C-alpha cells in the first residue's frame, strides 16, 4: 500500500516516512501541493497524509481536488498545529478528509489511525517484511 506524505518540515517528513516504512508501507513524499498533485497522478497512492499548512499551497483546495475533480475516495488524514483554527479542520472534514492528528504527535499514533481507517473499509493491512 502506497501512502503519500505531504509535509514541508523535513524532520517531520523523515520521521513519518521512517515509521511508515517500518510498518510496511511504501511511501511517496511531497513538500507542497504541486508535488502532491504530481505524486497523486503518478503513483495513485492508497492513502494521503497532509499537513494543513504548506508553503504556497491551499491544502483545503488539494482535498477538494482529490474528492471533487478526481472523484477519489482515497483516505486523507490532516496534520495540524495546536493553534490551528477549528474552522479549518471542520472545513477539511466537510471537503472529505477522514481524520486529523495534532502536532506534536507520535508517528505510531498516525499509523494506528491509518490502520483503523483501512479496517473500517474492510482492508486488511499486515506488516510486510522490510529489506
Percent of the chain past pLDDT 70, that is, above it, reads: 94
- Containing structural domain, residue 50: 2-120
In a domain, 125, yes or no: no
Domain count for the chain:
1
Model pLDDT for residues 19-69, shown as the tens digit of each residue: 999 999 999 999 998 899 899 999 999 999 999 988 888 889 899 989 987
Instruction: Write down the pLDDT at residue 131.
Output: 34
Instruction: Write down the pLDDT at residue 104.
Output: 87
Instruction: Write down the pLDDT at residue 129.
Output: 41
Q: What is the largest CA-CA distance in the chain?
A: 42
CATH of the domain at 76: 3.40.50.2300
Using alpha carbons, select from 31, 41, 32 the residue that is nearest to residue 2.
Answer: 41
Amino acid at each position: 500500500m502506497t501512502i503519500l506524505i505531504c509535509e514541508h518540515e523535513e524532520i517531520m517528513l523523515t520521521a513519518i516516512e521512517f515509521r511508515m516504512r517500518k510498518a510496511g508501507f511504501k511511501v511517496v513524499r511531497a513538500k507542497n501541493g504541486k508535488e502532491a498533485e504530481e505524486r497523486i497522478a503518478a503513483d495513485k497512492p492508497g492513502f494521503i497524509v497532509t499537513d494543513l499548512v504548506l508553503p504556497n499551497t491551499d491544502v483545503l483546495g488539494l482535498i477538494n481536488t482529490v474528492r471533487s475533480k478526481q472523484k477519489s475516495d482515497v483516505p486523507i488524514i490532516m496534520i495540524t498545529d495546536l493553534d490551528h483554527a477549528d474552522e479549518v479542520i471542520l472545513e477539511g472534514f466537510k471537503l472529505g478528509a477522514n481524520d486529523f492528528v495534532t502536532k506534536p504527535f507520535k508517528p505510531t499514533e498516525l499509523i494506528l489511525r491509518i490502520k483503523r481507517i483501512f479496517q473500517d473499509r474492510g482492508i486488511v493491512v499486515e506488516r510486510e517484511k522490510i529489506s
